[in-house]
């Protein structure tokens, strides 16, 4: 009997998965309780649906992990799922699917800050005067989390003539020539003109950017968060903008999402807030299909699929 895949993905992706040479059968997942399908499928393809996001306090269902051999998270981050999801025999994630898009967003944020062409655009002769523009070349881009997204940012920043410093959890040297790996996150924050936050949401990274760390930023620094809102203490961020060294924040993620109406981050003059759009998912979801197809091929051959989640590290 062929593989049975329970999928929370959209029909167009499911159609593509069904065409895989292993000819898997695709079955639906109950929207309100996706874990209930555990006894009916070999593989569960999950997305961060409301049922999962609301299940953190829920104890592990008796049925879990049932017949499942593999849980495949479409998202790179697995923080939207309860801890017991990781009790499945194999959990992999969508790392890399949107890294290039997110890195492009980061570069757009850096250029918007440095060059701000809207601010120097003239509409009458009287405005025709010299205004200095900021620079990208020669500045220091500091990357906190040198994984798929951080590496994609690093390659771009180096190509633009910036210096790139980075910190990661482990001590593995940076695979990208030109990236200087520093001892810790504080060392990166202290020297960066643009601090790029690309760490996963884990117990270790919750509130990592607190008042003490933000207070060590270089005066005039710009912080860009494309990871998760929980990584930055938002009150401390506002204080670091108003009374501390930070000059500007570009945030694609917050906690919660969306922020309640009236929240200061919507209107702060030196905050650019976007609604978790940097992944450009609708445009790059074909990459998710390619990744799943490649992983199914490996799985069918008895090989390990890509991007296995380590339950101890939490990413």
Residue with Cβ nearer ligand NAP (38 or 232): 232
Nearest residue to 180 (alpha-carbon basis) of 168, 170, 193: 168
Residue with Cβ nearer ligand NAP (83 or 204): 204
Asked if 222 is an active-site residue, the reply is no
**Residue 235 is inside which H or E element, if any?**
helix 234-242
Residue with Cβ nearer ligand NAP (37 or 85): 85
Residue with Cβ nearer ligand NAP (26 or 140): 140
Residue with Cβ nearer ligand NAP (172 or 282): 172
Which of the following is catalytic: 113, 156, 228, 285? 228
Which of the following is catalytic: 257, 286, 290, 303? 257
Which of the following is catalytic: 69, 206, 268, 276? 276
Asked if 272 is an active-site residue, the reply is no
Q: How far is the CB of 238 from ligand NAP (least distance, A)?
A: 21
Residue with Cβ nearer ligand NAP (14 or 279): 279
Asked if 257 is an active-site residue, the reply is yes
Which DSSP string do the residues of 124-174 spell out, in sequence order? SGGG--------STT-EEEEE--SHHHHHHHHHHHHTT-EEEEE-SS-PPP
Q: How far is the CB of 15 from ligand NAP (least distance, A)?
A: 24
Give dist(CA 103, CA 152) in Å, integer. 6
- Tokens 């993620």 identify what position? 253
Residues that bind ligand NAP (CB under 6 A): 76-77, 95, 98-99, 102, 145-150, 167-170, 172, 185, 198-202, 204-205, 226-228, 252-253, 276, 278-279, 315
Q: How far is the CB of 310 from ligand NAP (least distance, A)?
A: 9
Which CB contacts under 8 angstroms, 24+ apart, belong to 237-242?
237/209, 238/264, 238/265, 238/268, 239/211, 239/214, 240/211, 240/214, 240/215, 241/268, 241/270, 241/271
Q: How far is the CB of 8 from ligand NAP (least distance, A)?
A: 17
Which CB contacts under 8 angstroms, 24+ apart, belong to 276-282?
276/252, 277/105, 277/252, 278/98, 278/101, 278/102, 278/105, 278/106, 278/226, 278/252, 279/97, 279/98, 279/101, 279/102, 280/98, 280/101, 280/105, 281/98
Q: How far is CA 254 from the centre of its chain?
A: 12
Q: How far is the CB of 149 from ligand NAP (least distance, A)?
A: 3
Residue 203 sits at the vertex; the CA angle it makes with 202 and 209, to the nearest 5 degrees, is 80
Q: Which residue has the closest beta carbon to ligand NAP?
A: 147
Q: How far is the CB of 74 from ligand NAP (least distance, A)?
A: 10
Q: Which residues are registered as beta bridge partners of 163?
A: 140
Q: Which residue numbers are catalytic?
A: 228, 257, 276
């Amino acid at each position: 009997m062929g593989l049975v895949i329970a999928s929370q993905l959209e029909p167009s992706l499911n159609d593509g998965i069904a065409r895989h040479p292993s000819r898997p059968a695709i079955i639906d997942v109950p929207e309100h309780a996706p874990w209930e399908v555990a006894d009916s499928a070999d593989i569960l393809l999950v997305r961060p649906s409301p049922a999962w996001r609301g299940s953190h306090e829920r104890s592990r269902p008796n049925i879990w992990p049932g017949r499942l051999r593999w849980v495949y998270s479409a998202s790179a981050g697995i923080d939207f799922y309860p801890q017991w999801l990781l009790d499945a025999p194999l959990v992999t994630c969508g790392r890399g699917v949107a890294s290039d898009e997110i890195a492009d967003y980061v570069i757009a944020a850096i250029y918007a800050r440095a060059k701000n062409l809207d601010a120097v655009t003239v509409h009458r002769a009287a405005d025709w005067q010299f205004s200095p523009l900021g620079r990208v070349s020669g500045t220091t881009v500091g990357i906190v989390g040198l994984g798929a997204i951080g590496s994609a940012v690093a390659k771009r920043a180096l190509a633009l003539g910036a210096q790139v410093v980075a910190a990661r959890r482990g001590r593995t040297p940076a695979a990208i020539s030109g990236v200087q790996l520093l001892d810790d996150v504080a060392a990166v924050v202290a020297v960066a003109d643009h601090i790029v936050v690309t760490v996963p949401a884990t117990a270790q990274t919750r509130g990592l950017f607190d008042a003490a760390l933000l207070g060590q930023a270089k005066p005039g620094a710009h912080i860009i968060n494309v990871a998760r809102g929980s990584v930055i203490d938002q009150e401390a961020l506002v204080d670091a903008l108003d009374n501390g060294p930070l000059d500007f924040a570009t945030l694609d993620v917050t906690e919660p999402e969306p922020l309640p109406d009236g929240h200061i981050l919507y209107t702060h003059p030196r905050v650019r807030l976007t609604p978790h759009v940097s992944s450009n998912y609708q445009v790059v979801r074909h990459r998710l299909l390619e990744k799943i197809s490649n992983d199914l091929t490996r799985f069918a051959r008895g090989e390990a699929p890509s991007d296995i989640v380590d339950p101890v590290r939490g990413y």
